[in-house]
């Protein structure tokens, strides 16, 4: 398993990180709790040492599942969680206030069944709390031993200049990135260069479209978020373009003897240097497929083909 040390820290982690959204057991179709727990444990056995979640995934059930699965392996892994999204009375809003951060971290610690969180991340900025105040709140949590390091998620271009004076305090940032969604590429490269933070990509398989399992006639049930139009990777012209990308992925996968998903993941590992790739996994079969990504590298010709086919057609 390839590993990396997060910027400005001593956190050495696997470059493959298990994403915790499916662990919330909501919005991804049928899932089996016992299999989720078992899959997390098998991931550790196979060298995955980083696990990312958030307090809102499954309204806390993702953190509970992770805490249950890692109870006997806590010292062997790095747990990352996120705060800043509140869901109350049927409404969703962002809150980065000191009061909410303190409340959120205590609740996450309890659900995760741990005394500390290795990496605590701002899920979304609330548009009103100054970054300096957020840093102060998080530093106070560090002093209390509740968190070890802190990071960012869903950074915007406007955030970069504000973050420059605080770049040595954060260690990482997350943004959506895959062959199906390259719109954040410039932001990722800008943050990586300007702020010297470790990039972490979420949505790395385009919510599953890049696994090669789905076609233009695929229909999702109402219990699967991908049935909704806002999940553009599975609808309209965007779906058709994604299927063109998948065909190139299949060609490369066949030529090198690895899974389509592994090639899509490997592209990010090779193209976004010093990155961590988050992959959502529901079962051992998906885990096995994704783990193939650490067994090979793509050559320049293969990367070039993928860059060409995945280019936004509106550019």
Catalytic residues: 57
DSSP letter for each residue of the chain: --EEEPTTS--EEESEEEE-TGGG-SSBS---HHHHHHHHHHHHHTT--EEE--TTGGGGHHHHHHHHHTTTTGGG-EEEEEE-EEEETTEEEE---HHHHHHHHHHHHHHHT-S-EEEEEE-S--SSS-HHHHHHHHHHHHHTTSEEEEEEES--HHHHHHHGGGTTTEEEEEEE-BTTB-TTHHHHHHHHHHH--EEEEESTTGGGGGGT---TT----TTBGGGSTT-GGGSHHHHHHHHHHHHHHHHHHHHHT--HHHHHHHHHHHHSTT-EEEEE--SHHHHHHHHGGGG----HHHHHHHHHHTS-TT-
């Amino acid at each position: 398993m390839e590993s990396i040390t997060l910027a400005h820290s001593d956190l050495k982690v696997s470059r493959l990180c298990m994403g915790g959204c499916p662990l919330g057991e909501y919005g991804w179709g049928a899932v089996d709790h016992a299999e989720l727990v078992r899959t997390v444990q098998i991931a550790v056995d196979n060298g995955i040492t980083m696990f990312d979640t958030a307090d809102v995934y499954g309204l806390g059930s993702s953190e509970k599942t992770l805490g249950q699965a890692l109870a006997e392996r806590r010292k062997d892994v790095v747990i990352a969680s996120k705060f800043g999204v509140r869901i109350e009375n049927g409404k969703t809003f962002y809150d980065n206030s000191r009061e909410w951060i303190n409340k959120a971290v205590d609740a996450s610690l309890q659900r995760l069944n741990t005394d500390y969180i290795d990496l605590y991340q701002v899920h979304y900025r609330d548009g009103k709390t100054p970054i300096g105040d957020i840093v102060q709140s998080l530093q106070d949590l560090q002093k209390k031993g509740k968190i070890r390091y802190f990071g960012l998620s869903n950074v915007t271009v406007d955030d970069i200049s504000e973050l420059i004076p605080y770049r040595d305090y954060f260690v990482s940032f997350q943004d959506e990135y895959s062959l199906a969604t390259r719109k954040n590429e410039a932001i990722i490269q800008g943050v990586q260069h300007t702020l010297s933070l470790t990039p972490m990509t979420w949505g790395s398989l385009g919510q599953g479209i890049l696994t090669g399992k789905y076609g233009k006639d695929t229909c999702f049930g109402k219990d699967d978020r991908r049935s909704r139009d806002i999940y553009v990777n599975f609808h309209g012209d965007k779906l058709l373009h994604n299927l063109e990308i998948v065909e190139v992925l299949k060609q490369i996968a066949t030529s090198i003897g690895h899974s389509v998903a592994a090639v899509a993941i490997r592209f990010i590992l090779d193209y976004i240097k010093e990155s961590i790739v988050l992959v959502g996994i529901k079962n051992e079969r998906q885990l096995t497929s994704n783990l193939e990504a650490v067994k090979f590298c793509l050559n320049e010709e293969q990367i070039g083909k993928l860059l060409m086919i995945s280019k936004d057609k509106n550019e």
